[in-house]
């Protein structure tokens, strides 16, 4: 699956062009990158089945960018990118990726201090060379150093949103082999952790012959996406894909499939506790099965359900297997009835061309209809989010009219006119109450001034959420995984405030955010908060991110009753009206 390789190149190309002072091309390349990385299908398959025209029809991808994608699929390179890279020192492109730095500051450091790489940058910070430059200072050094550490983590562990489709593509390819009966991804990916170290795939062959296992391994280690074969054996092989992701495949007999899947899904603490329970019951548990300790007879192993049942436990969903109380809950029969993707009836955080989205209002509505949604909210950015083409009051009035005019064309879906409204440092909202009351839904969020002290940040949030027109607090911690640390605020105080006022806390499903994270989801539920799972989609493809938000909510023990957008349209509207009464 070449999607993430191409998206990475376009992001890098955007940074390079921005560093050179090019005006509009960086935004175009970033928009194309977002569109490509959110695709569910491999771009090489789309190109092979439908041709270049199918690429040109995608959000943010015109004729010239489509041609570059074709070039990469055919040659593994994009000549325009290679040409631009040669204009920069080796390592400079990576340096521009550092949060709190960016292309323009990276260029300045190169010009003033001849800093050409992340290693150079880290050394210069340790010597406090940046603090002497105008526009930087000691605090900048501290922030950039933190950005370097996050960048290092990002190189070690990939985002769930990158690993999941890659694993799906690998599993799909393996299933094409007639000798394979079952193939499934396990590990932290199956637990839906927000970052993944590598991909573990378990394979059950149609027979247990050594020749069949050997054929499977030959097939796996010959896939076109492979950059390197690390190990090749009869029952296990390891590869590194061209984009740097490591994947392992294990071949196992059907009688051990369930126990192996359980073993390679639960985290270490979960599995250790299960083995302890097995010992107390006179069994021994491993990836090969559950065995009677006295007779060594296999008593369970074909399915996960029979393994858990034999240990006296209700089946524990994969997302919960972190040893955070799920085993005790399973023993008492008190596991949550986790929310499912099919429970979601709408998406309440969507962007269009009115701010920084790639599609029209009508296109977003039609995409939501295809998903079977009962309602959506169009929520473009407010005026202070200048970088996101935020709307001033005059343009907002036209936008509200445009949303409501579009809504009249579609009888089978409720379309709400909303806005994502910036929370200023002092807690003021970006629009006055006279403007806010004209909106069907108001989402409050923070996009700048992330480094405020905890007490001050808490007051900022609570003041904003105290406005009677606010319905949702979006991506509450503002974090971006492996890019930006969460803001520091008193979660207990804010969660209690939201619970009392009825404001919904968002689980932003974008894989770069997953904010609230699963631990915060559980804390918010325990505090009595309502949650909402939104995609924060900026183009049609990103509507598919809903699954990642649902998975995060499930991991936080959320049930459908905890999520407001599992309500039917009439109940949801009543819920919002109550907040304003």
Q: Does 407 lie in the same domain as 263?
A: no
CATH number at residue 317: 3.30.210.10
Euclidean distance between CA atoms 414 and 373, whole angstroms: 9
Q: Please check whether residues 142 and 199 belong to one and the same domain.
A: no
Separation CA 415–CA 457 (nearest Å): 33
**Contact by Cβ (8 Å): 82, 89:** no
How far apart CA 535 and CA 349 sit, in angstroms, is 6
Check whether residue 236 and residue 99 sit in a common domain: no
In DSSP notation, 283-329 reads EEEETTEEEETTT--EEE-SSHHHHHHHTT-----GGGTTTSSHHHH
Strand partners, 391: 382
Quick one: 304 and 206 in the same domain?
A: no
Q: How far apart are CA 552 and CA 513, in angstroms?
A: 11
The CATH number assigned to the domain holding 119 equals 1.10.150.110
The mean pLDDT values, 10 residues at a time, for the chain of 581 residues are 81 82 82 82 81 83 88 86 79 74 78 82 85 80 81 76 90 93 95 93 93 93 88 91 87 94 95 96 95 95 96 96 96 96 97 93 96 97 90 96 96 95 97 95 95 96 96 96 91 97 96 96 97 95 95 98 95 78 58
Find the radius of gyration of the CA atoms of the chain.
25
Tell me what the pLDDT averaged over the chain comes to. Answer: 91
- Phi first, then psi: what are they for 68, rounded to 5°? -70, -35
Same domain, 399 and 327: no
Same domain, yes or no: 495 and 391: yes
Q: Same structural domain for residues 514 and 562?
A: yes
The range of the structural domain enclosing residue 97 comes to: 3-156
- Cβ neighbourhood burial of 178 (10 Å; 0-12, 13-18, 19+): exposed
Asked if 462 contacts 427 with a C-beta cutoff of 8 angstroms, the reply is: yes
The reply to whether 317 and 284 lie within a common domain is: yes
SS (H, E, C) 353-415: CCCCCCCCHHHHHHHHHHCCCCEEEEEEEECCCHHHCCECHHHHHHHHHHHHHHHCCCCCCEE
Residue 581: the pLDDT is: 58
Place of tokens 């006296």: 312
Per-residue pLDDT at 145: 84
Q: What is the CATH classification number for the domain harbouring 375?
A: 3.20.20.140
pLDDT at 189: 95
Q: Do both 318 and 356 map to the same domain?
A: no
Q: Are residues 465 and 319 in the same domain?
A: no
How many structural domains comprise the chain?
Answer: 4
Instruction: Examine the domain organization and report whether 521 and 451 are in the same domain.
Output: yes
- Residues forming beta bridges with residue 199, ordered by sequence position: 247
72 vs 49: CA distance, rounded Å: 17
Boundary (domain end) residue, out of 136, 156, 176: 156
Domain edge (last residue) among 332, 359, 390? 332
Q: Tell me, what CATH number does 236's domain have?
A: 3.30.460.10
DSSP code of residue 40: S
| pLDDT of res. 115 | 83
Structure tokens at 212: 């069949």
Looking at 105, 133, 156, the residue that finishes a domain is 156
- Shared-domain flag, residues 210 and 311: no
Q: 119 with 89: CB under 8 angstroms?
A: no
């Amino acid at each position: 699956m070449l999607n993430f390789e191409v998206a990475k190149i376009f992001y890098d190309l955007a940074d390079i062009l921005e560093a050179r002072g090019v005006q509009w091309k960086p935004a175009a390349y970033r928009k194309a990158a977002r569109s490509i990385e959110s695709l569910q299908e491999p771009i090489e398959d789309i190109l092979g089945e439908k041709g270049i025209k199918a690429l040109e029809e995608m959000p943010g991808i015109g004729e010239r960018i489509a041609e570059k994608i074709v070039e990469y699929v055919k040659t593994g390179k994009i000549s325009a990118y290679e040409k631009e890279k040669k204009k920069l020192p080796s390592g400079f492109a990576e340096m521009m990726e550092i949060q709190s730095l960016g292309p323009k500051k990276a260029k300045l450091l190169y010009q003033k201090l001849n800093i050409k790489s992340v290693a150079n940058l880290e050394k210069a910070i340790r010597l406090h060379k940046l603090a002497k430059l105008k526009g930087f200072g000691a605090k900048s050094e501290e922030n950039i150093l933190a950005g370097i550490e996050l960048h290092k983590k990002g190189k070690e562990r990939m985002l769930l949103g990158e690993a999941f489709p890659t694993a799906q593509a690998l599993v799909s390819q393996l299933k094409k082999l007639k000798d394979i009966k079952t193939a499934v991804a396990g590990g932290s990916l199956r637990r839906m952790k927000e970052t993944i170290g590598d991909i573990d795939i378990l394979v059950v062959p149609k027979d247990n012959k050594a020749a069949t296992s050997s054929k499977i391994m030959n097939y796996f280690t010959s896939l076109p996406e492979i950059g390197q074969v690390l190990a090749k054996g009869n029952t296990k092989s390891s590869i590194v894909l061209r984009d740097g992701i490591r994947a392992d495949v294990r071949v196992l007999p059907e009688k051990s499939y369930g126990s192996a899947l359980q073993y390679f899904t639960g985290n270490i603490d979960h599995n250790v506790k299960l083995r302890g329970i097995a010992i107390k019951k006179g069994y021994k548990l491993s990836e090969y099965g559950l065995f009677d300790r006295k007779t060594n007879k296999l008593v369970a192993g074909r399915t996960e359900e029979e393994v858990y049942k034999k240990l006296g436990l209700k089946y524990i969903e994969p997302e919960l297997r972190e040893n955070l109380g799920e085993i005790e809950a399973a023993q008492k029969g008190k596991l949550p009835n986790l929310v499912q993707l099919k429970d979601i009836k709408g998406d309440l955080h969507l962007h269009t061309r009115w701010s920084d989205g790639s599609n029209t209002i009508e296109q977003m509505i039609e995409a939501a209809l295809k998903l079977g949604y009962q309602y959506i909210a169009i929520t473009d950015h407010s005026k202070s989010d200048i970088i996101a083409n935020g709307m001033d009051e005059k343009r907002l009035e036209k936008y509200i009219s445009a949303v409501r005019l579009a809504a009249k064309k579609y009888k089978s879906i409720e379309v709400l006119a909303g806005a994502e409204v910036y929370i200023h440092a002092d807690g003021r909202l970006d629009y006055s109450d006279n403007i806010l009351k004209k909106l069907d839904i108001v989402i409050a969020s923070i996009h700048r001034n992330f480094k405020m002290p905890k007490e001050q940040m808490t007051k900022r949030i609570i003041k904003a959420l105290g406005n009677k027109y606010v319905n949702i607090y979006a991506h509450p911690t503002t974090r971006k995984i492996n890019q930006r640390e969460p803001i520091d605020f008193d979660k207990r105080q804010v969660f209690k405030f939201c619970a009392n006022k009825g404001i919904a806390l968002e689980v932003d499903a974008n894989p770069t955010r997953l904010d609230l994270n699963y631990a915060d989801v559980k804390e918010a539920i325990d505090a009595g908060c309502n949650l909402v799972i939104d995609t924060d989609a900026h183009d049609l493809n990103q509507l598919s991110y809903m699954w990642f938000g649902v998975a995060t909510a499930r991991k936080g023990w959320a049930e459908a009753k905890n999520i407001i957008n599992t309500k039917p349209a009439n109940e949801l509207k009543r819920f919002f009206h109550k907040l304003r009464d």
